[in-house]
Every structure is written in C-alpha cells, then in structure tokens.
Structure 1
Amino acid sequence: MASLIQWHCHDFNGFTPETLYQALALRDRVFVVEQRSIYGDIDGRDPDCRHLAGYAGDGRLVAYARILAPGVAYPDAAALGRLVVDPSLRGQGVGRQLLARALEEAARLHPGPVMLSAQTRASGFYASFGFVPVGEPYDDGGIEHIDMRKEAD
C-alpha cells in the first residue's frame, strides 16, 4: 500500500468539504480517540498552513501533515504538525514517507530549519531524520512531548 499513495500539498482552499472532513476525522480518530488526548485540535492555524495529504487508490486519506511558516509556531523555523497515519497502515513505511515528503515541502516553501513537537515515545523516529531535542519534555494534552529541531540540509 505504501507505494500506492498519491501525495498532494495544498493550501486551505485546496480542501474540498469531503477532504477537509477526512483530515479532521483522521486527526480526531488518532489523536483524540485512540491516544485519549484532550486538546484543541481546531486551533485556528489550519487556514494559514500548507496541508500534505496522502490518499490511497480508493480516495481515502491515509496520511496527513500540516506545514507552518516560520514565526507561526516557532520564531525562526518552519514547523511540521499533526503528522498522522491511518492506524491500518502502521508498520508499512507510510510514516517515513509522510515525514520525508513533509520535509521536502517545508524546504521548498520555507528554506531553513524545521521544528516539531514530538511525542517523546516517537522522538527516536524523528531523530532518524536528523531532528534533535530542544529543551525539556512537557505535557501536551496529557501526552509527553518534546520540541525537536532539524537544521537545513
């Protein structure tokens, strides 16, 4: 399945009502329901982000990330957020594809460093892409996170 994903990166206006619903539903299913994290997913930033979406051949959204410009989440770095893969595709390399594509898009749109807020249990995954921890772990919606930074290649 991982090789059959169609990737699209667009601004907020690139969503159709159906694709926006799919993105919000996937984020909700994983972050709120599965991980039992109570947080404000609808944070007002989506209209100002670029959205990377991976669709299966049947049109189902199976991977998603948002890309924020420098100064929005971090003062001197672009940011990646809401990285999520459909649970049915875990362990098939889709997460690696998603992060690689998100980093490519971030570099194209906003050359320079990239940061993200990683769940600490996933920090090794991000480290494998060159991210390093910045600061101390903190609670975000009941899940321990740490900011991580990757300098421009």
Structure 2
Amino acid sequence: MNWKIKSFEELSTTELYAILRLRSEVFVVEQNCAYQDLDNTDQLALHLMGTDDTGRLLAYTRLFQPGIKYQEASIGRVITSPLARGTGAGRELMERSIAAVQQQFGTVPIKIGAQQYLQRFYTSLGFEQTSDTYLEDGIPHIEMVRSAHGTHTV
C-alpha cells in the first residue's frame, strides 16, 4: 500500500472525492447510518490515506492536534475499504496514524471515539477504555485513550 498524509488544502479534488465516497460507502450505506459526515472539521485535520498501485483509496483516517476534537490529540473516521479488509490494512492504518500523530504533534496522548465492537483491536494498539458505552448515530461507542508512550493510562 502507498501512504501519504496531507492537510485539507493539499488534497486534490480527486483525493477529496475518494475520501468522501469511501466514508459514505462505509459509514452511511454499509452501516445503514444516516448522519452528518461533513462536520466542518475536515479543514482542521491531517488526512492519512492508503492507496493501492492504481491510486484507489483503501484506508483512511483524520488526525487532529490536541484541542480540536478533544483535549488530547485524536484519530477519527478510521476506515478501511471492503476491498482491503482481512489484509492487515486496518492495523497498519492505525499504526501509521499513531506514528503520524507523534511525528506531527509530539509524543502526546491520543483519544478516539471507537465503535464498541472494536475495543479489543484498539486495546491491542495501546488504547484503554475511558468512558461508559454511549450511542452515537445508533451505534454503541466508547471513548479510549492511548497514553503518550503507548502504555495504559490508569
């Protein structure tokens, strides 16, 4: 997979279209969840994209510096294309996202709002649950934090 990270202003219209299309394909259509994906924070994020050799977007996250989404830095809109599932792309995406946050914003804690069924996956990456379960757009979620050095926060 080919990886690149860009600010909103650096995205081409083709890249932006691919990002929004993949987010709609998975978060709206596949998960049958009508919600406002365009939340006026894409402009404040760094966009990590994993593409195949043809340029097709297969993996994506938004990265935020501390103080935008949460007090901590954050990773959001974590998504892998159905075409890339079962290949390890999701783990590589998160490992690269964590490394990019540390490179861009320093060795800082990272907070995520995770779908609850992915708790074990995120725990394996050093995140720890920090909230009770809550519903977001009808889907059970939990907040999780990864300490600055990837060790448990409690």
TM-score range (shorter-chain normalised) is over 0.9
- Code of the residue aligned with 2:104 in structure 1: it is L
Structure 1 gap segments, 5+ residues each: none
Pick one of 120, 124, 128 that aligns with 1:128.
Answer: 124
Q: CA deviation at 1:89?
A: 1.2
State yes or no: 1:94 paired with 2:85.
no
Q: CA deviation at 1:56?
A: 0.4
Aligned residue pairs, count? 148
| Counterpart in the other structure of 1:85 | 80
The structure with higher relative contact order (CA 8 Å, sep 6+) is 1
Q: Whole-Å Cα distance in 1 between the matches of residues 67 and 35 of structure 2?
A: 22
Q: CA deviation at 1:152?
A: 1.0
Q: CA deviation at 1:36?
A: 1.1
Q: CA deviation at 1:88?
A: 1.5
Pick one of 28, 46, 49 that aligns with 1:50.
Answer: 46
| Counterpart in the other structure of 2:36 | 40
Q: CA deviation at 1:87?
A: 0.5
Q: CA deviation at 1:40?
A: 1.2
SS where residue 132 of structure 2 aligns? strand
Q: Whole-Å Cα distance in 2 between the matches of residues 47 and 33 of structure 1?
A: 24
| Counterpart in the other structure of 1:7 | 3
**Percent same amino acid among aligned pairs?**
37
Structure 2 gap segments, 5+ residues each: 150-154
Q: CA deviation at 1:23?
A: 0.2
Detail structure 1 runs of 4+ shifted over 4 Å in the superposition.
none
Pick one of 86, 100, 109 that aligns with 1:105.
Answer: 100
Q: CA deviation at 1:109?
A: 1.3
Q: Whole-Å Cα distance in 1 between the matches of residues 137 and 34 of structure 2?
A: 5
